[in-house]
Copies of this chain bind each other. A is one copy, B any other.
């Protein structure tokens, strides 16, 4: 089963925005065994869209289109759908009801004609309900190809893919059986991991593919088995993971593809009934934000003091002025005191503190660009590590966040064992 993804929008073709929708859709299709043949970005031009549709007709099973569904004039996907399917736009009362409820009931605004027009859909289409927005998704079949149109706003698109499209495709199409299993590793680079597992990799059966997905500070290994014999695939994946764990068990932190390090750490804290707080300088609140991006974090995350200014470190966190003078604001000593003090202030079991120079300029700091100290206060002690994450600024911040989580995870596990 093959699919093509089309994103419509001049803003992509002039490079004003990066197309992130396609990657999300591709990932979702890949998970259920649908092969994405091509991803194409084209302009808001009727002839161009029609020409692209024609070329894909009966060549692929599924064409998923995002963008071009908004209420304004530059959005022409719906009219083009009507042309391609020789159809006309009609008001769908259910969609009209939903749009009215959303605008009047929820946003408390009078509904405008432009809002109402969102309920105009091609008469032959199957409507995909958009719970979180006004533009519905549309599913239309011509001969052997289904064309699906989705709004381009990422969270609306995601909601429709997850709740409408994937279940419908799973129900209506036969696909090969496919299993993906992701092994999450932290702390070693891609080439080192590759060297350690080379023999194991060479012994993988034909129907299992291995992919390396490197991110700063972590490598995910993805095994994909594809075939018709479900039991054989499952058994083989399982056996290979057991043998892999024997080789690199020391760096494996989890097996869930979507499981982030913060999810792993959060679960550990909850299991141990422990709490955490942070005192952040160079990370500027990002560690707190990463913790609180997970629903239910209030069980273990008490809070943070983002002490961006030196006076905040002194006045709110109670870091001693002399210590700062003696060792400089970016130092192991200051990081340690920040961690200890925020732990006491928030009455938590653990605390993370960061201080560093993220750049891009040295500013008043006498420290190298990219120099960072991370301190971790645990129930028993305080540890501090020094890093240099180079440049640019965003990388320094991101790496500091990841390293902090990694240090925290290790310490929690130590205290369990």
Interface, chain A (partner B; CB < 8 A): 10-20, 22-30, 35-44, 48, 70-75, 106, 109, 112-115, 132, 153, 155, 159, 180, 182, 190-192, 194-195, 201, 209-214, 222, 224, 257, 277-278, 280, 283-289, 291-293, 295-298, 301-309, 311-312, 315-316, 345-347, 358-361, 363, 388, 390-395, 397
Decide: B303 and A312 in contact? CB cutoff 8 A.
Answer: yes
Once the chains bind, are A302 and B295 in contact (CB under 8 Å)? Answer: no
Q: How far is the CA of A10 from the CA of B222 in the complex (A)?
A: 10
With contacts A191-B115, A303-B308, A312-B302 taken as known, whether A14 is within 8 angstroms of B27 at the C-beta atoms is: yes
Cβ A308 vs Cβ B312 within 8 A: no
CA separation between A312 and B278, bound complex, in Å? 12
Bound-state Cα–Cα, A278 to B24, Å: 33
Tally of this chain's copies: 2
| Contact in complex: A71, B361 (CB < 8 Å) | no
Residues in B with CB closer than 8 Å to A213 are 11, 16-17
- Candidates B40, B74, B304; contact of A39 at CB < 8 Å: B40
Identify A192's interface contact among B112, B304, B311, CB under 8 A: B112
Expressed in whole angstroms, the minimum distance between the Cβ of A203 and any Cβ of chain B is 13
Name 12 A/B residue pairs within 8 A (Cβ), A-sorted. A13-B36, A14-B26, A16-B222, A37-B48, A71-B190, A73-B194, A74-B209, A112-B195, A114-B195, A292-B306, A295-B393, A298-B309
CA distance A278 to B305 in the complex (A): 10
User: Do B303 and A316 touch across chains, with their CB atoms under 8 A apart?
Assistant: yes
- 20 more A-B residue pairs beyond the given contacts A14-B36, A289-B289, with a C-beta to C-beta distance below 8 A: A13-B39, A14-B30, A15-B28, A16-B27, A19-B22, A37-B43, A38-B42, A106-B390, A109-B192, A113-B195, A153-B214, A283-B289, A296-B363, A298-B308, A301-B308, A302-B312, A303-B306, A303-B316, A304-B305, A315-B345
Task: Identify A72's interface contact among B191, B257, B307, CB under 8 A.
Answer: B191
A7–chain B nearest beta-carbon distance, Å: 8
Beyond A212-B70, A308-B301, whether A285 also contacts B295 by CB under 8 A is no
Is there contact, CB below 8 Å, between A73 and B114?
A: no
Nearest B residue (CB) for A102 = B390
- Would B289 and A10 count as touching, CB distance under 8 A? no
Q: Which residue of B lies closest to A29 (CB)?
A: B15
Residues of chain B within 8 A of A16, CB atoms compared: 23, 27, 182, 211, 213, 222, 257
Partner of A347, one of B315, B345, B393: B315
Q: Which residues of B contact A38 (CB under 8 A)?
A: 13, 40-42
Chain B residues with Cβ below 8 Å from A39 are 12-13, 19, 40-41
Chain B residues near A306: list those with CB within 8 A: 278, 285, 288, 292, 303-306
Q: How far is the CB of A19 from chain B (nearest CB, A)?
A: 7
Query: Among the listed B11, B42, B71, B292, which residue makes an inter-chain contact with A222, where contact means beta carbons less than 8 Å apart?
Result: B11
A288 contact set on B, CB distance < 8 A? 280, 284-285, 288-289, 306, 308
- The residue of chain B having its C-beta at the shortest distance from the C-beta of A14 within the complex is B30
In angstroms, Cα B285 to Cα A293, docked, is 10
Q: Which residues on B sit within 8 Å (CB–CB) of A11?
A: 211, 213, 222
User: Chain B residues near A212 (CB, 8 Å)?
Assistant: 70, 72, 74-75
